[in-house]
Structure 1
């Protein structure tokens, strides 16, 4: 009691002091590093958003004066302020870099990163070394943001500023779409690599499963071998940068080794993980380096801390530079100093011309960074960005020379050198893809100038026929159930189609029915033999129905509708009469408008909903952590995650037909059997292997195995937060609650990609 009394009224944030120095007391993750962070499903809650639940950003954009906003951005580009003067009298290159570094965090493996929520405003991204001084760019934009207020998000304004900058400097653009709604708190789920990680790690891998880093919820399978000669290194999957605090790669070469060929290997892997091919990669880098300069006037050890650790007197700025004015000719960003072209604010082909025309020798910047300058003393010079009349040698980075020495990159460069118009179009299209890649389908795109249609947008055709009405929906449900297909069959195909959705970049989902197409049709997790059988029957139902009247049903709609009919039957067989909502309007994509390679990235490595683990890929993370990640990508709450898993288990949804976790003797009936058996004290959970990946549930009385299970089953009974929900569903009144919540969560998943039906989707997502 004495100790307790002594702490009354004490500061709850013990262990830190004014000035930002960290204390010595370890935190939650130190004491329980293997804790499953269920709270990651509660990110960016409505309570954090001052705009309120009813704010309609699409309606806001409709009132926006687009031309006036563009004019304000252009005026800013041609200005200069004393506290952060513009290079060459033009903020264009600086704004372009800010936009690039925001969008460039996107990675195709899990769809995370990118520009869609303006995450460059928050830690850790705002404090990465590679984002040095992007805080100044956003502060320069602040007067415009304040002028337009909530009419335009930070995320959209940041992308617009870089795009208008390119257009102002001479690049024709493909258009611009609004639609990026701001987050209001930092992203706590995305694993960017361990803090302080300096690049590559040896390929020796520990036995799986392991907890890994506390924040790690992703696969760390080996995808790439590269690095210095005779040494093999692993670029951790799905990370899109060669080491922590970079957007892509070390501009001095891997580990600062100055080897352009090693740099080429890093570039190819990191840009591929950003969904860019060789031509798009060269276009982006060569196009981006046509503008502006790099800054390395002051050694890194003279520069202050990033925004998240800066003193309060810094007013939110980071990287305080004590040299001279701390800016202009004294600016320090990445340590490399100089410009690539003689005309850094004009769109031209000088970057590639100079790269290939001249030989380059290694030198050092004033900050001590490795860089390159022309061997020929008569090579063109570039004007200093701030000192009038001063001319400086051209500069190249090790990563620039990579395009000259790598044979495949060189072919692309030579093509661009021979045809500047083609290069211009390639860069314009690659930029458009870069800043819109995570914006989702075009139905989410807003504004008067969204541009054309590209395959990377995952397009689906418009609806061109009358939709089914309530009576026809009921008729179709009866026809589907009359085919003889089982409840597990119909549920499996609908779930496989819809659950490809990931909210990180709004890709996947049931719309388009790409479950019919490669690569999804051949994924082992989708049980191709069953999938073929079900699709064949549904195609026959569709053909018969479409021939009877004006209304038509797409395969995308029919697959979902069939799953809904199966859930209704499963509930009724358990004594519960429910109606599963169904909203028509999906259309069928074609193979010609499906990028199979890109879609293959949506294939799960671990899908706990179907008890699937891709053993061929391998993993270093406990599967329940990756299961949590899957739930997060589906925007599920903890109760929704729990209800869906328990329901899918009794509906016999294991991908391989196994009985693991199927704690029921009534397969195909929607019941709470899974939860009643899970929380029962009648069983001992006995590991079947040293890694505790598989278990037997052994009857305490008889010693006989009653059920078998995986970690993805038992986590709902072992985790303290999830167990509370499981016990609720296991209770006397739990089955009715489970059926109710399963139906709601099922409808939510089926509707996640229905951005064309705003009101319905909002209702589906907001019920939780």
Structure 2
């Protein structure tokens, strides 16, 4: 969900003083640092989020084609350059054991590990690890050093190699250098050029200088629903990390309490939220901890501020360590000190062997963090990372012991212990999934290592087209056939939009391609009930066409769903007196139920959908304290819409009668199915007075002031466009006497944009600009 989590209570004027930020009389700020509007008006809907990461921020320009530039790179030569860098230690940040591989694995892991399945946000895809807040999370300590070490490679290859691709590829090179055969690497990630201010990462109460503080407990309690220990205790959606400023879980256990079973529960919750099952979870933890070490030589309160608030002379580097050399053997990162294996630079199975061969007792690191040490004095030791001839006891974290005590995780560990080859393949595939999960369909994968033999279910695979493609004449004939079925303009438009609007640009999932609207789970969603008879009718159109078309032509159900919507919009525009052609690009295919991961697609089900005026009955319980309009904004953001596109699509869908339940809410017209500007005209009608229907403040009635006649009903998703100043200024354009032609043209353009969001098979997927990011 969006960062705009708003509480709709206590909005009367006598509460205003309590809502002003501290030092309200000093809100004038200083030059260049005026207080934000959120400081003054914490309930304000941040519509401007729709316009971030645009071309104005991108130095490469709109015409830059990353795919073409990336293709010029000799990937083997690039990998050789990276591997040379990994084994060339520098004085300002010396490599542990003389090899930067383990810390680069951590950098890539933490870049990708922010991914969460609930809204598809996070992941390595845009190199957000370079920007706040992610760059300055305590769990990302010293990843700034890893990226700075890579700067010579980035400068050498320039714009042909994005930071996002470089970080993931470096992780792969590190694994290969240490003996792992990786599953592959795909380029194609486009860098962002500014911080992401729209993603809600959870309550920002965590105190990075004291992980055992009461603030840590308060913060965790705010992220979790229910009471600790109860069956209903769960992490808020869409969050994935158990604590703020962590990638996964607290390695010392919940509340840093050293409880392995509690840690196992947190691990399962967070890794499931990241789309990983138990086997993938164990593979990733055991595989990652086969390498490198953890750093905890200096107490946290001695470490300087993170990059975002470090002094200007630090030049973007944070976490200054004042002890000794400040690096090398004095390094401080997460506070835990030591290594898991006797050879931290070799891919082997000794992590699991050590975990199960010995009993462990709780100890403390030099920084005071809780960790575990073998009770057997004859257990293997690990070499010091910087001092020759010195060795140390093995180290385990509470999150490691969790794999041993949780019954299901233990089974997976025992399977991997018995078969190292199985473990190797499992880790390779899980790493590939971790680092590519947010890239979307295979059409976006670039490079010679991107092609693998099997389609992976998490990639939402699509089969090859069945039969010859349809042409322009077929398209026109099929539109006439669809309209002749008697399906209404409203139902056709609703069905097409329902299929296409599942897309989310965060991880490039969803959309109409594949025809998954006709498959579980989408066909069973309450919000999609109206689509079922439409899909059935379109199946008959498909059967008739496929049975009679010459030359082996076939039309997919996915194409027919979109084409039906296009035909409906054209009909609605004609009825409004503005004939127009709605673009349609054929070529979609129909996938199968077997190629559809029902559990993962269930995460795409909207609990609130302002476009179709839908709100689940359990929305207040699912999203406590969240205003439906904030979720609506977030949905528009995931569809890459601008504020005008968001506005014009909503107004058009209302007059087309595209509410999920067929209700009259927001349908401010007597001409349903006509693409008119009636929604905007009546929304701005000053003769109407709006009153809430009950204390939930979710539905409203518009009454004619002069007569008292109840004229219209509305939801928050409707009145939003009249109450928000930025959106109302757009509404005024379409409500004006000259607004109709502009409205029809803009609606058609926005409609086509949504229908094409997932068509990476035909559109430029690697160009600069907000649509490509």
Q: TM-score range by the shorter chain?
A: over 0.9
Residues in 2 aligned to 1:368 and 1:747: alpha-carbon distance in whole angstroms: 58
Q: 1:158 to 1:203 in 2, by over 3 A?
A: closer
Question: Which residue does 1:212 correspond to in 2?
Answer: none
Please give the per-residue CA displacement for 1:266-315, whole angstroms capped at 9, x wherever unaligned.
Answer: 11001000000111000000000000000000000110000011011112
Q: 1:669 to 1:272 in 2, by over 3 A?
A: same
Q: 1:327 to 1:202 in 2, by over 3 A?
A: closer
Instruction: Tell me whether 1:102 sits opposite 2:111 in the alignment.
Output: yes
* SS of structure 2 residue aligned to 1:105: coil
Indicate the RMSD between aligned Cα atoms, in angstroms. Answer: 2.1
Residues in 1 aligned to 2:770 and 2:182: alpha-carbon distance in whole angstroms: 35
Residues in 2 aligned to 1:53 and 1:572: alpha-carbon distance in whole angstroms: 35
Instruction: Tell me whether 1:679 sits opposite 2:684 in the alignment.
Output: yes
Residues in 1 aligned to 2:321 and 2:738: alpha-carbon distance in whole angstroms: 64
Question: Which residue does 1:140 correspond to in 2?
Answer: 149
Tell me, yes or no, if the aligned pair for 1:92 and 1:169 is still in contact at 8 Å. Answer: yes
Structure 2 unpaired stretches of 5+: 1-25, 207-214
Residues in 1 aligned to 2:93 and 2:513: alpha-carbon distance in whole angstroms: 48
Residues in 1 aligned to 2:221 and 2:173: alpha-carbon distance in whole angstroms: 47
Question: Which residue does 2:559 correspond to in 1?
Answer: 557
Question: Which residue does 1:15 correspond to in 2?
Answer: 29
Tell me, yes or no, if the aligned pair for 2:489 and 2:673 is still in contact at 8 Å. Answer: yes
Residues in 2 aligned to 1:489 and 1:761: alpha-carbon distance in whole angstroms: 35
Q: What TM-score, normalized to structure 2? A: 0.92
Q: 1:763 to 1:582 in 2, by over 3 A?
A: farther
Question: Which residue does 1:314 correspond to in 2?
Answer: 314
Residues in 1 aligned to 2:160 and 2:433: alpha-carbon distance in whole angstroms: 24
Instruction: Tell me whether 1:510 sits opposite 2:512 in the alignment.
Output: yes
Question: Which residue does 2:743 correspond to in 1?
Answer: 738
Question: Which residue does 1:30 correspond to in 2?
Answer: 39
Question: Which residue does 2:15 correspond to in 1?
Answer: none
Question: Which residue does 2:382 correspond to in 1?
Answer: 382
Instruction: Tell me whether 1:572 sits opposite 2:566 in the alignment.
Output: no
Tell me, yes or no, if the aligned pair for 1:297 and 1:337 is still in contact at 8 Å. Answer: yes
Question: Which residue does 1:5 correspond to in 2?
Answer: none
Question: Which residue does 2:83 correspond to in 1?
Answer: 74
TM-fit CA distance, 1:466: 2.3
Residues in 2 aligned to 1:203 and 1:126: alpha-carbon distance in whole angstroms: 21
Please give the per-residue CA displacement for 1:436-467, whole angstroms capped at 9, x wherever unaligned.
Answer: 00001000111111142201000111234322
Question: Which residue does 1:184 correspond to in 2?
Answer: 193
TM-fit CA distance, 1:407: 0.7
Residues in 2 aligned to 1:232 and 1:107: alpha-carbon distance in whole angstroms: 21
TM-fit CA distance, 1:762: 7.8
Q: 1:636 to 1:59 in 2, by over 3 A?
A: same
Structure 1 unpaired stretches of 5+: 1-11, 206-219
Higher relative contact order (CA 8 A, sep 6+): 2
TM-fit CA distance, 1:734: 1.0
Residues in 2 aligned to 1:344 and 1:765: alpha-carbon distance in whole angstroms: 41
TM-fit CA distance, 1:235: 2.1
Q: What TM-score, normalized to structure 1? A: 0.93
Q: How many residues align?
A: 732
Residues in 1 aligned to 2:308 and 2:730: alpha-carbon distance in whole angstroms: 37
Tell me, yes or no, if the aligned pair for 2:496 and 2:561 is still in contact at 8 Å. Answer: yes
TM-fit CA distance, 1:574: 1.4
Question: Which residue does 2:420 correspond to in 1?
Answer: 420
Which among 169, 177, 184 is matched to residue 178 of structure 2? 169
Tell me, yes or no, if the aligned pair for 2:58 and 2:768 is still in contact at 8 Å. Answer: no
Question: Which residue does 2:728 correspond to in 1?
Answer: 723
Question: Which residue does 2:372 correspond to in 1?
Answer: 372
Tell me, yes or no, if the aligned pair for 2:60 and 2:768 is still in contact at 8 Å. Answer: no
* SS of structure 2 residue aligned to 1:176: coil
Tell me, yes or no, if the aligned pair for 1:264 and 1:406 is still in contact at 8 Å. Answer: yes
Residues in 2 aligned to 1:740 and 1:713: alpha-carbon distance in whole angstroms: 22
Which among 514, 519, 522 is matched to residue 520 of structure 1? 522
* SS of structure 2 residue aligned to 1:707: strand
Q: 1:486 to 1:761 in 2, by over 3 A?
A: farther
Residues in 1 aligned to 2:430 and 2:227: alpha-carbon distance in whole angstroms: 26
Q: 1:490 to 1:766 in 2, by over 3 A?
A: same
Residues in 2 aligned to 1:742 and 1:676: alpha-carbon distance in whole angstroms: 16
Residues in 2 aligned to 1:298 and 1:364: alpha-carbon distance in whole angstroms: 12
Which among 611, 614, 622 is matched to residue 612 of structure 1? 614
Q: 1:17 to 1:495 in 2, by over 3 A?
A: closer
- Compare 457-466 and 107-116 and name the one that shifted more: 457-466
TM-fit CA distance, 1:760: 10
Question: Which residue does 2:710 correspond to in 1?
Answer: 705
Question: Which residue does 2:17 correspond to in 1?
Answer: none
Tell me, yes or no, if the aligned pair for 2:61 and 2:769 is still in contact at 8 Å. Answer: no
Q: 1:340 to 1:203 in 2, by over 3 A?
A: closer
Tell me, yes or no, if the aligned pair for 2:204 and 2:219 is still in contact at 8 Å. Answer: no
* SS of structure 1 residue aligned to 2:481: helix
